[in-house]
């Protein structure tokens, strides 16, 4: 269980998070949604221990994330950063094997066993055929699947993803979300994913947390969080909520934007 | 491009030892060729015999003038050893900095080593201090101290409470280098009109090489050699950005400090005896990267081997091209290195297309 208690953080005096609390159970997928600049990325950096909070705690099964040594933390928490820069010249397999770093000592190199872990991670995200490809030759969808494979190779119980599908087309988006759900469900992992697409978030996440201004505005089931009223308040957009014919989850359809004048033909 | 996932090679699981062994053998051949060439020409075979005759329990009938032994053992061999050691040091430091700064244009002189060493050397040369201290002249000691001081000051300026931002280190290094160069120039124009000693030191060379120079450099090269063996894999992970490397369990700050320290020691020791020889530290790692890939576990040691071979060849050219006079070796490395580098770059582009 991942617990965040009354966490606060400011960048050089400008408060970004003002007391935020939530918990994610094992096997659960929590979606973090909110407008640009609402503090999603900062929250994820605090959860993964890259930043230290000004106040409050992040604990995993009762142990403070900040107290863990970096290698130990990397065995507990794997991260898919937002739009990572991948180094030129390395192959896909090279990169995925870097996910094994937390298990390797200073004098150790990857073993056949690590290669097996890397191979099965590549199978999961269907990038095995790209193993020998150079990272700078990948398409956007391939890059993202490779980065997710690297996080899976880390074999950490907690998986944190920062907008993993923002730049992907429909089929790749569904593919990534399916893999995350499937793998984390299988190994009873804790997952936190920040995303923008409320419809997809509702379909794949067990619970959603909508944040705004560094605070938790509402947390609960997709039906409780994704309502026309909440979206008007937080995003300032007027939408219509439909029911998904198969899953029954909320589907967000814009009705009109805040300033969408009908007679604006010339723009 | 291979598609079969089971047969994709990675350096970690299939280390290309044969290339390191082959590279070392080629450097040895270059070394023997360089030993045989010069004002007195010998056959490479005679060189081998002269060296072999020094090995205990090997008996070779002497059929060469005894002056040849002096030329080999006292003049050419120490010179070639120094050139090789300096080349390896500069290439290893260059490769380390390129990896650390994730910048292919980084070279060992990036954060002020060269200008610091230059200032230290100029102070000694201009003030006319020629005294020896513990058997070696004060010139290399002053250069070494200057180099270490320059990097330490840049480091102290760049460091803040959260760690060492590399962009700050780069900027601080550039500023310190500019300041030290300005002081060097000021010293030169305010001093005796004969600037040739300072200028020739700044251009670099191995004409004053002695055996003990190599032995004095080696201890400072040792940390870099250990780092190149142990930290290659970590340096690979650090090619992702710093936050990402941290999330993969790398202790980024301590690794940075270790790499900067080892590379600075090796560079400072190398330049204190050889002067400022450009280009080797920049292009040797690049050549390895273009020819054999980017994995630092292989790139670091191979860059050292390539650097050693390249420097021995450059020094050979420096002393035979305009014989009996000599060219500054830094001019040779630039003349040979620039076209070679352009050729490799073009070749790489063709492979990609």
Question: Among A93, A124, A153, A162, which would you mutate to test the B interface (most chain B Cβ atoms within 10 Å of its Cβ)?
Answer: A93
- Tell me the residue range of the domain where B36 lies: 14-352
pLDDT of A264 higher than 60: no
Residue B180 domain-assigned (yes or no): yes
Q: What residues does each domain of chain A span?
A: 2-226
Chain B residues with beta carbon closer than 8 angstroms to that of A109: 12-13, 233, 297
pLDDT of B306 higher than 70: yes
Q: How far B249 CA sits from the closest chain A CA (Å)?
A: 4
**What pLDDT sits at residue B2?**
38
Residue B208 domain-assigned (yes or no): yes
Lowest-confidence region among A58-72, B72-86, B135-149, B263-277? B135-149
**Mean pLDDT score across all residues of chain B:** 87
The 10s digit of each residue's pLDDT in A210-246 is 999 889 999 999 999 999 999 999 998 889 999 999 9
Tally of domains in chain B: 1
Chain A residues with beta carbon closer than 8 angstroms to that of B1: 132-133
Residue B195 domain-assigned (yes or no): yes
- Judged by a CB distance cut-off of 8 A, whether residue B247 touches chain A is yes
Lowest-confidence region among B150-154, B195-199, B295-299? B195-199
**Binning pLDDT at 50, 70 and 90, where does residue B3 land?**
very low
The 10s digit of each residue's pLDDT in A185-199 is 888 999 999 999 999
* Model-level ipTM above the cut of 0.95: no
Size of interface A-B (CB pairs under 8 A): 99
What tokens does B53 get?
């005759």
With a pLDDT cut of 70, the percent of chain A lying above it is: 96
Chain B residues with beta carbon closer than 8 angstroms to that of A106: 230, 234
**What pLDDT sits at residue B145?**
92
With a pLDDT cut of 70, the percent of chain B lying above it is: 93
3-state secondary structure chain B: CCCCHHHCCCCCCCCCHHHHHHHHHHHHHHHHHHHHCCCCCCCHHHHHHHHHCCCCCCCCCCCCCHHHHHHHHHHHHHHHHHHHHHHHHHHHHHHHHHHHCCCCCCCCCCCCHHHHHHHHHHHHHHHCCCCEECCEEHHHHHHHHHHHHHHHHHHHHHCECCECCHHHHHHHHHHHHHHHHHHHHHHHHHCCCCCHHHHHHHHCCCCCCCHHHHHHHHHHHHHHHHHHHHCHHHHHHCCCCHHHHHHCCCCHHHHHHHHHHHHHHHHHHHHHHHCCCCCHHHHHHHHHHHHHCCCHHHHHHHHHHHHHHHHHHHHHHHHHCCCCCCCCHHHHHHHHHHHHHHHHHHHHHHHHC
The 10s digit of each residue's pLDDT in B126-172 is 877 666 666 667 888 888 999 999 999 999 999 988 788 988 999 99
The 10s digit of each residue's pLDDT in B229-250 is 899 999 999 999 888 999 999 9
- Judged by a CB distance cut-off of 8 A, whether residue B289 touches chain A is yes
DSSP for A131-191, please give it: TTSBGGG--HHHHHHHHHHHHHHTT-SEEEEESTTTT--HHHHHHHHHHHHHHHHHTT-EE
- Asked: is A2-226 a CATH 3.40.50.300 domain? The reply is yes
Task: Give me the CATH number covering residue B62.
Answer: 1.10.3470.10
- Judged by a CB distance cut-off of 8 A, whether residue A188 touches chain B is no
Q: A6-15, A250-259, B116-125, B300-309: which has the highest mean pLDDT?
A: B300-309
**Binning pLDDT at 50, 70 and 90, where does residue B352 land?**
very low
Residue B216 domain-assigned (yes or no): yes
What tokens does A128 get?
């095995």
Q: Between chains, do A77 and B251 touch, taking CB under 8 Å as contact?
A: no
The 10s digit of each residue's pLDDT in B324-339 is 788 889 889 988 888 8
**What pLDDT sits at residue B348?**
65
């Amino acid at each position: 269980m991942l617990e965040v208690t009354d966490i606060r953080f400011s960048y050089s005096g400008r408060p970004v998070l003002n007391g935020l609390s939530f918990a994610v159970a094992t096997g659960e997928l929590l979606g973090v949604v909110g407008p640009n600049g609402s503090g999603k990325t900062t929250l994820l950096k605090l959860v993964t221990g890259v930043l230290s909070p000004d106040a409050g705690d992040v604990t995993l099964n009762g142990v403070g994330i900040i107290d863990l040594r970096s290698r130990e933390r990397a065995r507990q928490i794997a991260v898919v950063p937002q739009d990572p820069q991948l180094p030129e010249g390395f192959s896909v397999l090279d990169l995925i094997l870097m996910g094994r770093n937390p298990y390797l000592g200073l004098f150790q190199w990857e073993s056949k066993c690590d290669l097996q872990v890397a191979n099965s991670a590549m199978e999961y995200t269907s990038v095995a055929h790209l193993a020998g490809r150079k990272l700078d030759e990948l398409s956007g969808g391939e890059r993202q699947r490779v980065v997710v494979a690297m996080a899976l190779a880390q074999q950490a119980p907690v998986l944190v993803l920062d907008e993993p599908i923002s730049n992907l087309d429909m089929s790749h988006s569904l593919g990534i979300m399916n893999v995350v759900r499937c793998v984390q469900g299988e190994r009873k992992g804790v997952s936190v994913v920040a995303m923008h697409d409320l419809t997809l978030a509702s379909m794949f996440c067990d619970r959603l947390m909508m944040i705004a201004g560094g605070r938790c505005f509402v947390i609960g089931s997709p039906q409780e969080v994704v309502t026309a009223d909440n979206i008007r308040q937080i995003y300032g957009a007027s939408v219509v909520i439909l029911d998904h014919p198969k899953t029954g989850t909320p589907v967000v359809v814009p009705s009109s934007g805040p300033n969408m004048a009908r007679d604006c033909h010339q723009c | 491009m291979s598609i079969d996932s089971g047969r994709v090679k990675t350096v970690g699981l299939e280390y290309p030892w044969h290339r390191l062994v082959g590279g070392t053998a080629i450097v040895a051949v270059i070394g023997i060729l360089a030993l045989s060439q010069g004002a007195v020409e010998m056959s490479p075979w005679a060189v081998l015999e002269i060296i072999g005759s020094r090995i205990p329990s090997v008996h070779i009938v002497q059929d060469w003038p005894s002056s040849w032994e002096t030329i080999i053992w006292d003049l050419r061999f120490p010179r070639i050893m120094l050139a090789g050691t300096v080349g390896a040091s500069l290439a290893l430091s260059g490769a380390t900095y390129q990896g650390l700064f994730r910048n292919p244009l980084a070279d060992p002189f990036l954060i002020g080593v060269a200008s610091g060493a230059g200032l230290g050397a100029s102070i000694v040369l201009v003030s006319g201090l020629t005294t020896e201290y513990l058997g070696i002249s004060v010139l290399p000691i002053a250069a070494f101290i200057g180099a270490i001081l320059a990097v330490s000051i840049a480091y102290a300026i760049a460091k803040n409470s959260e760690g060492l931002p590399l962009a700050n280190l780069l900027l601080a290094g550039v500023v310190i280098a500019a300041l030290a160069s300005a002081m060097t120039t000021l010293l030169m124009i305010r001093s005796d009109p004969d600037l040739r000693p300072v200028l020739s030191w700044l251009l670099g060379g191995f004409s004053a090489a002695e055996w003990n120079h190599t032995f004095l450099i080696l201890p400072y090269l040792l940390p870099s050699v250990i780092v190149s063996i142990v930290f290659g894999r970590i340096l690979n992970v650090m090619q992702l950005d710093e936050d990402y490397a941290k999330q993969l369990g790398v202790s980024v700050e301590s690794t940075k400090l270790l790499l900067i320290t080892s590379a600075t020691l090796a560079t400072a020791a190398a330049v204190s005896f050889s002067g400022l020889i450009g280009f080797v530290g920049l292009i040797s790692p690049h050549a390895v990267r273009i020819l054999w890939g980017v994995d630092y576990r292989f790139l670091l040691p191979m860059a050292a081997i390539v650097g050693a071979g390249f420097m021995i060849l450059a020094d050979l050219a420096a002393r035979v091209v305009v014989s009996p006079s000599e060219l500054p070796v830094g001019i040779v490395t630039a003349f040979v290195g620039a076209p070679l580098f352009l050729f490799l770059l073009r070749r790489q582009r063709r492979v990609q297309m």
